[in-house]
């Protein structure tokens, strides 16, 4: 029965995933047109103030990726976002002739990494598959597979960081931390993820591992610097690089300000209080968002006060830290991609503990 259930879960997973990929087949088969996107960019709001020919982040990243992979200076085009993800988009455009295959491959990375992470936590293949299936059927996730946004790659790299932290392989963890910081939100990524890892290791009373993580932390900084290799090869020095990073921080500090409770409103009710004054309904919202959040609160109540040393507490620390971080920045619904896989995983963890007790009643 157990093997049949596992086969059924795998079959359902692959069938619904193939269905989603088939839905977006045109996105993966359309040839990337560099000249078209160059003209779109030059006439967009990124170049022409108040332009009516707007280009979204996905179009901007697609064009920037093409320019980056052909040697452009990453400080002169979309400099506010670090370059690694856009180099990967550019590679997709070179290898596959299409920018959206990058998004599909990033999604596959997320699902594979989430399965490995869940297997470490549950030590049970069937349970480990459930969060993967929930995420793969999540509208917010699979809608990202059609366009080259950076959030999916960002999530995949984060999960890889957590995998190697739980395996106590801190060189690899810091390599992926550096790549994650070089994909999006560089300074906040370093601070937030490092703080979560240290808090987790401290909670686990693993003081020796804290020392090891800190010793290897410069590896992440080195990896981050390497993603700017083209910038340095074009003649920029380290002082200019620090000035660029300071400008990025200032850019976001002086940008739009969102409602501090926006992320919680989105999770709980599917209501998005935008920073331009409207409250919009999040079309991707579903009832699993608030239910999994309730399960996480139950998990935190049962586990943290009793100082139970579970590997899953790493996910608890991340959820808390990331939701606090989202109170400080303007939130897009897709930002919740960095929390939903972990709320689903902890929800499955809670149910796996509760249901056997219910059966004994």
pLDDT at res. 110? 97
**Which pLDDT belongs to residue 177?**
97
Q: Phi first, then psi: give them for residue 184, nearest 5 degrees.
A: -165, 145
What is the value of pTM for the model shown?
0.94
Specify if 122 maps to a domain. yes
* pLDDT, position 361: 41
Contact 100, 27 (CB under 8 A): yes
- How many domains is the chain partitioned into structurally? 1
Residue 50 lies in a domain: yes
Report the alpha-carbon distance of residue 334 to residue 140 in Å, rounded.
7
5 found inside a domain = no
Count of beta carbons in the 10 Å neighbourhood of residue 63:
29
Neighbours of 113 (CB within 10 A): 22
Residues of the chain falling short of pLDDT 50: 358-361
Residue 320 counted as domain residue? yes
pLDDT of residue 357: 60
Give the pLDDT score at 358.
Answer: 45
What confidence score (pLDDT) does residue 10 get? 79
User: Is residue 318 one of the residues assigned to a domain?
Assistant: yes
Domain carrying residue 209:
28-360
Domain assignment of residue 15, yes or no: no
Instruction: Give domain status of residue 130, yes or no.
Output: yes
Residue 137 lies in a domain: yes
State how far Cα 159 lies from the chain centre: 8
């Amino acid at each position: 029965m157990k093997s049949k259930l596992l086969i059924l879960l795998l079959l359902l997973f692959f069938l619904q995933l193939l269905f989603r990929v088939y839905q977006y087949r045109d996105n993966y088969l359309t040839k990337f047109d560099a000249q078209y996107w160059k003209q779109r960019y030059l006439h967009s709001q990124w170049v022409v103030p108040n332009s009516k020919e707007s280009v979204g982040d996905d179009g901007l990243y697609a064009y920037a990726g093409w320019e980056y992979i052909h040697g452009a200076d990453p400080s002169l085009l979309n400099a506010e976002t670090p370059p690694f993800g856009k180099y990967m988009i550019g590679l997709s455009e070179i290898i596959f002739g299409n920018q959206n295959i990058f998004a599909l491959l990033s999604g596959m990375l997320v699902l594979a990494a989430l399965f490995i992470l869940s297997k470490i936590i549950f030590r049970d293949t069937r349970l480990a598959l459930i969060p993967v299936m929930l995420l793969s059927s999540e509208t917010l996730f699979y809608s990202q597979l059609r366009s080259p946004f950076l959030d999916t790659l960002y999530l995949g790299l984060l999960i890889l960081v957590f995998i190697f932290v739980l395996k106590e392989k801190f060189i690899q963890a810091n390599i992926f931390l550096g790549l994650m910081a070089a994909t999006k939100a560089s300074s906040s990524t370093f601070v937030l993820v490092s703080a979560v890892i240290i808090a987790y290791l401290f909670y686990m009373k693993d003081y020796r591992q804290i020392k090891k993580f800190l010793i290897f932390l410069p590896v992440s900084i080195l990896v981050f610097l390497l993603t700017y290799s083209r910038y340095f090869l074009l003649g920029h020095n380290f002082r200019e690089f620090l000035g660029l990073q300071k400008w990025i921080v200032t850019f976001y500090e002086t940008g739009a300000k969102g409602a501090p409770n926006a992320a919680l409103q989105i999770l709980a009710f599917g209501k998005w209080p935008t920073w331009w004054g409207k409250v919009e309904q999040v079309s991707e919202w579903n009832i699993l968002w608030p239910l999994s959040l309730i399960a996480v609160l139950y998990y935190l109540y049962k586990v943290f006060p009793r100082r139970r040393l579970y590997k899953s507490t790493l996910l608890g620390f991340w959820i808390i830290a990331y939701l606090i971080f989202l109170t400080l920045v303007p939130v897009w619904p897709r930002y919740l991609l960095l929390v939903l896989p972990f709320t689903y995983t902890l929800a499955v963890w809670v149910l796996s503990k509760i249901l056997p007790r219910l059966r004994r009643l």
